[in-house]
Amino acid sequence: MTIPFPSLEYFQALQQRTREDSDIFEKLGVCDVDFGAKVGERMFSVRFEVCECVEVREGGDPTALDFVLAGPPEIWREMLQAIAQHGGADAAHTLNTLTHVGNQIQVEAQDAEGSDKLFRYMASIQEFFDQGRHLEIAFD
């Protein structure tokens, strides 16, 4: 089944994947974070509790989130295509790489504590997006 991106269905499909591949997330450990993924102007909120993605929704208040990953649709698309092609992000498209230099994706946070959560849970959040390798995605 083809899933459109950006869409709530896409994030719901990733959420479902965290349940189906729960062993991977359990092994990575506890991950308590509320973050946003902003694709162009569309914002999606993702909530992880313990080791599971417990909620995804469209919209959300960025100031109530730990951090927001904000980038133009073409960068998100490039990242998702790389994940599909390589079975997970390749060297040029890991979340850290995209958010570090050049700020292709911005990490927007209210304070250092919030943005540091991205780094504290980097492997879990990377794996969340890498689960897109199991999805067939159609881009707008």
Partner 1 sequence: MAYYGSVEDYRYNDDFLLRLRDLRRGNLDLGWLNAGTEQREFRAENPKRGLTYLDLDEGSYGFSELDNEPRGPRGAAPRGAAVEPEAQADLGPELNHKNDVWAYKVASFTEEAMSRQWDASTAIPWQDLDRYERPEELEIAFAQLCTFFTEVELIATDLPAKWSWRMNNQFQEVKHFIATQAMDEARHAEVFRKRALAGGIGLMEALPQAEHTLKAILDCNAYSEASAFMHLLAEGNVLTMFRFSEFISPTPVDKRIFQLVMQDEARHVSYGLQHLRWVMDKDPGRKEELHKTLEEAERISIGQFDAALLECMIVLAGKGTKPGQIAEGVKLVGGFQVRQIEEYFQRLRRAGFEERIERSLFRQLLADIGHPDPLAAA
- Binding residues for partner 1, rule: CB under 8 A, are 28-30, 32, 49-52, 90-91, 94, 96-97, 100-101, 111-113, 115-117, 119-123, 126
Smallest gap, in angstroms, from Cβ of residue 117 to partner 1? 8
Smallest gap, in angstroms, from Cβ of residue 48 to partner 1? 12
Residue among 22 and 57 whose Cβ is closer to partner 1: 22
Residue among 62 and 88 whose Cβ is closer to partner 1: 88
Smallest gap, in angstroms, from Cβ of residue 110 to partner 1? 9
Measured torsion, CA atoms of residues 57, 63, 69, 72, in degrees rounded to the nearest 10 = 90
How many whole angstroms separate alpha carbon 133 and alpha carbon 80? 8
Measured torsion, CA atoms of residues 4, 101, 108, 122, in degrees rounded to the nearest 10 = 70
Smallest gap, in angstroms, from Cβ of residue 140 to partner 1? 29
How many whole angstroms separate alpha carbon 45 and alpha carbon 89? 21
Residue among 96 and 106 whose Cβ is closer to partner 1: 96
Measured torsion, CA atoms of residues 54, 60, 63, 64, in degrees rounded to the nearest 10 = -30
Residue among 43 and 80 whose Cβ is closer to partner 1: 80
Cross-strand partners of 131: none
